[in-house]
Structure 1
Amino acid sequence: MKEEKDIYVEDGIMKFSWKPLLAWGLRLLPLLLFLISFATYYYSYVILQSSGGTGKALNISKSLCGGLLTQKNWERLNLNITRHTQLFLKMEDFFWKETQSKLPLPYGIKGSELMLLKVLAATNYQMPTNIENLECRTCVVIGNGYVVKNSSLGSLINKYDVVIRLNDAPVRGYEDDVGNKTTMRFFYPESAYSNPILQNDPDTLMVMVPFKMQDLRWLKEILYNEKRVRKGFWKPPPLIWLGDPSKTRVLDPHIFQQAADNFLKISNKKGKNPVHPTTGMLAVVAALNYCDVVHIAGFGYPSLKKPLHPIHYYGRANMKSMMNSYHDINNEAKALRRLEESGAILYLHPHL
């Protein structure tokens, strides 16, 4: 049997074997990907820091919108779908129209029309004027992941026009890592604080993400001070919620449908447990629809091989709690990677 060498002579000609080079290339690939991610993060960080203090939002918008970081994000996605800048439901979207929704929550409103009518009558759908009038909107979506712990990104996060937070992730006590500005908070009943002002700004928009009919029913009962029905929740929601109705919004199911169909390619077949986008993925899709620059931080889960590893920058929840989840976190990680590779989003920290 002929022994294969890295360098050998055949017919008087010195030749090289490519197999060792290929093996080394595969070994170095993870390091190369990490270096690319870090270089992208560092470039973004330098641009943002060059904008000065937290009170110079206009300069930051100019730095990001006028630089290499934004080139029509929506067009880059090549999804062949219309950008949906109206993120929140309003009555005229579904009522007094001949074409009614054919899908139930979370992808439509079929079966929830009357309940939704009462909710929308007591809430609002508009975005703050100062944000709506911006020529270029810089947005950051802050995930709840452990990866943002000890990141010292707080002052950077506060510089964006729009800061979107998720569920019950705390701000107080974690300002150095996640900042303290909150433009919108996406939540559902099980993740609601009884008093939202404790972890949000007075003008924060509280965006209800209705995964099921019970979510709308809970909000209706709160808004009209009706008897609370606590059945149908995987975790008891608060009986008292002190959110301001004028600052309360309901996320349009169109965002759910975009996330599931176009970004995650979810196919929920009858007879199987449903899989839905996470609140974080929905927030990213909403930001891509509404914003001109979309950055993210705090996204990503530890390996399932590490069941005791913390998953949040706060609390004690670990990967065990994700075992029976209705979310496909691996699929979402791949979707975020595709968005990053297309240039549609940018991470504020190195990641694998």
Structure 2
Amino acid sequence: MSEDDLKSSQKLIPVVLFFICYYCSQFYFERYGGSGKSPQPTVSLCHNYRLQRKWESLKLNMSRKTELFLKLKDFFWKEHLSTAALPYGIKGSEKFLLKVLAVTSSYKMPANIERTCAVIGNGFSIKNSSLGEIINKYDVVIRLNDAPVRGYEEDVGNKTTLRLFYPESASYNPGIHNDPDTLMVLVPFKLEDLRWLKEILYDEKRIRKGFWKPPPQIWLGQAGQIRVLDPYFLRLTASELLQIPLQPRRQQKPVHPTTGILAVFVALNYCDVVHVAGFGYPEFRNQKEPIHYYGKETMKSMKNSYHDLNQEAKVLKKLEDQGAILYLHRHS
């Protein structure tokens, strides 16, 4: 076979696979649809193929990663060796991480054939949306920081699978606005974040230095529901998704992803279908506009933030245009 023939054959592979997947899927739905029986391996293979093609179409120059959390069993071996410090690596954090991971247990995330996920931002845009019932139907619902649920169920629902947070954004009693089995996922931006969690878990003396805002000194999170997000996700959100430098130049203000855009990237890795709501900020020129569906904070509070909100808005628009995410409500 000539080199030209070989190249032609390789180009036909995706087309052949598409038709195989299509006819296998039709066979599956005709034979098993509504029967409760498990799908055939070929259907799973085709599903995985479609997901891989969808992931590759994003051109993020990275592999899809569905293991979200740091684990004690592989922590000191090869999977999480790092040359970077927090927030983009674990170098220098090993002592605190060892103690934290020793008292948090493993957890298997939902293993549906197709995992549908809703990432619920805290933005004002979700107010009066009446999306609550729809949000509760997703397999996985990801929420952010201390955003309340009680009193806002009609718009934001009340199901929470994962809640991403850091010490300054922690609510002292997670049980108020979360389900009993909600996973509280710490996003460690700095060494003090892990130290805070260690002191909470072991009931040690709290050290208050190192935070831009005092975190809860009493935190009622349950050890069995706590996870630590792998810094891999924040690093790739910054470097690949947002294209911001991991090491700012001297005298340059550091820029980090928001927990919102991080949650979207986590969902793109873990979920098969990603829908979002409550994202977006008002125009910077309108400093009096509210930014959350709760509370009284306005755009003025974001003036000196360590985030590039314009860049994040562009990336979300690009992901929407590519079909990677779908908004559940109108947005600007």
Match of 1:291 in 2: 271
Between 172-181 and 267-276, the greater mean CA deviation after superposition:
267-276
- Structure 2 CA distance, aligned partners of 1:83 and 1:246? 27
Match of 2:141 in 1: 163
Match of 1:326 in 2: 306
Match of 1:206 in 2: 184
One of 248, 266, 270 as aligned partner of 2:226:
248
Is structure 2 residue 198 aligned with structure 1 residue 217? no
Match of 1:88 in 2: 69
Between 336-345 and 116-125, the greater mean CA deviation after superposition:
116-125
Quick one: structure 1 residues 316 and 98, their matched pair in 2 at CA, closer, same or farther if it must change by over 3 Å?
closer
Residue aligned with 1:164, SS = strand
* 8 Å CA contact retained: 2:68, 2:266: yes
One of 82, 85, 99 as aligned partner of 1:101:
82
Residue aligned with 2:100, SS = helix
| Amino acid of the structure 2 residue aligned with 1:113 | E
* 8 Å CA contact retained: 2:74, 2:80: no
Quick one: structure 1 residues 198 and 324, their matched pair in 2 at CA, closer, same or farther if it must change by over 3 Å?
same
Shift of 1:70: 7.7
- Structure 1 CA distance, aligned partners of 2:240 and 2:90? 19
Is structure 2 residue 90 aligned with structure 1 residue 117? no
- Structure 2 CA distance, aligned partners of 1:154 and 1:170? 13
Q: Which runs of 5+ in 2 are unaligned?
A: 1-35, 37-46
Match of 1:236 in 2: 214
TM-score by length of 2: 0.82
Match of 1:46 in 2: none
Shift of 1:125: 4.1
Shift of 1:269: 1.9
Shift of 1:127: 2.9
Choose 1 or 2 for highest CA Rg. 1
Task: Count residues with an aligned counterpart.
Answer: 284
- Structure 1 CA distance, aligned partners of 2:307 and 2:226? 25
Alpha-carbon displacement from aligned partner over 1:28-55 (angstroms, at most 9, x marks no partner)? xxxxxxxxxxxxxxxxxxxxxxxxxxxx
Quick one: structure 1 residues 336 and 125, their matched pair in 2 at CA, closer, same or farther if it must change by over 3 Å?
farther
Alignment of 1:131-170 (within 5 A): 131=110, 133-170=111-148
Quick one: structure 1 residues 119 and 156, their matched pair in 2 at CA, closer, same or farther if it must change by over 3 Å?
same
* 8 Å CA contact retained: 1:87, 1:251: yes
Alpha-carbon displacement from aligned partner over 1:119-174 (angstroms, at most 9, x marks no partner)? 1111134234xx1x211100000000000000111111011000000001000000
Match of 2:173 in 1: 195
Residue aligned with 2:133, SS = helix
Q: Which runs of 5+ in 1 are unaligned?
A: 1-57, 59-65
Is structure 2 residue 300 aligned with structure 1 residue 317? no
TM-score by length of 1: 0.78
* 8 Å CA contact retained: 2:160, 2:178: yes
Quick one: structure 1 residues 95 and 158, their matched pair in 2 at CA, closer, same or farther if it must change by over 3 Å?
same
- Structure 2 CA distance, aligned partners of 1:307 and 1:98? 45
Alpha-carbon displacement from aligned partner over 1:156-194 (angstroms, at most 9, x marks no partner)? 101100000000100000001000000110001011111
Quick one: structure 1 residues 125 and 104, their matched pair in 2 at CA, closer, same or farther if it must change by over 3 Å?
farther
- Structure 2 CA distance, aligned partners of 1:92 and 1:262? 28
- Structure 2 CA distance, aligned partners of 1:180 and 1:90? 28
Residue aligned with 2:175, SS = helix
Quick one: structure 1 residues 163 and 73, their matched pair in 2 at CA, closer, same or farther if it must change by over 3 Å?
farther
Residue aligned with 1:120, SS = helix
* 8 Å CA contact retained: 1:73, 1:293: no
Shift of 1:258: 1.1
Shift of 1:97: 3.4
Is structure 2 residue 251 aligned with structure 1 residue 269? no
| Amino acid of the structure 2 residue aligned with 1:296 | V
Alignment of 1:23-38 (within 5 A): none
- Structure 2 CA distance, aligned partners of 1:310 and 1:299? 13
Alpha-carbon displacement from aligned partner over 1:42-71 (angstroms, at most 9, x marks no partner)? xxxxxxxxxxxxxxxx9xxxxxxx9xx988
| Amino acid of the structure 2 residue aligned with 1:136 | E
Quick one: structure 1 residues 335 and 344, their matched pair in 2 at CA, closer, same or farther if it must change by over 3 Å?
same
| Amino acid of the structure 1 residue aligned with 2:249 | K
Residue identity over aligned pairs, in percent, reads 65
Output the aligned Cα RMSD: 1.9
| Amino acid of the structure 2 residue aligned with 1:270 | R
After the TM superposition, which parts of structure 1 deviate over 6 Å for at least 4 consecutive aligned residues? none
